[in-house]
Amino acid sequence: MAVYAGKVVVVTGASQGIGKALCLELASIRPRLVLAARDGAALETVAALPTTGRRIAVLGEMRELGKSSERYHREIGEFAATCKLDVLVCVGPNAAMIADAAGKSGMDPKVISTFVDAPSAAPAVRKLAKKNDLVLLKASRGI
């Protein structure tokens, strides 16, 4: 695994199984980890991983939730506020509900940002992420 030291490593399926185990193993050699996942357990993984940098979550809106959309967006924001995040980036029209709920649940509004879509968020996230930061990317495929 030493070959990954100092490199950028993107891990998909980072919230469970092999993906989570790989994240935990890689964390000890300090590559720049970017985690990609499709469920809330990914936030727990980010909170559990050791890092000398910041914990950054880039959460895109969740699509195809129907009538439950608002509830689930607010729940993930509330949950994000409990996950030791240093920065929360919310992407998509419905992601503003994530940001709002995180702020109302105790996360400092100064570390929360929202963007209407991925093309507008990407340059900001690139500028924001620094060496040793741990970055989680979580969104519906449409984002």
Which residues, 6 or more positions from 24, have their beta carbon under 8 angstroms from its beta carbon?
Answer: 48, 49
Structure token digits, residue 92: 């998509």
Q: Is a pLDDT exceeding 80 seen at residue 70? A: no
Rounded average pLDDT over 40-67: 80
pLDDT of 16 reads 60
Specify which of 18-22, 37-41, 54-58, 72-76 reaches the highest per-range mean pLDDT.
54-58
Which residues, 6 or more positions from 79, have their beta carbon under 8 angstroms from its beta carbon?
Answer: 40, 43
Tell me: the pLDDT tens digits for 14-44? 566 666 676 667 666 655 655 555 556 778 7
Which residues, 6 or more positions from 71, have their beta carbon under 8 angstroms from its beta carbon?
Answer: none
Residue (of 121, 140, 120) closest to 69 by Cα position: 140
Question: pTM for the whole thing?
Answer: 0.75
| CB 40, CB 65: distance < 8 Å | no
Residue (of 111, 112, 115) closest to 92 by Cα position: 115
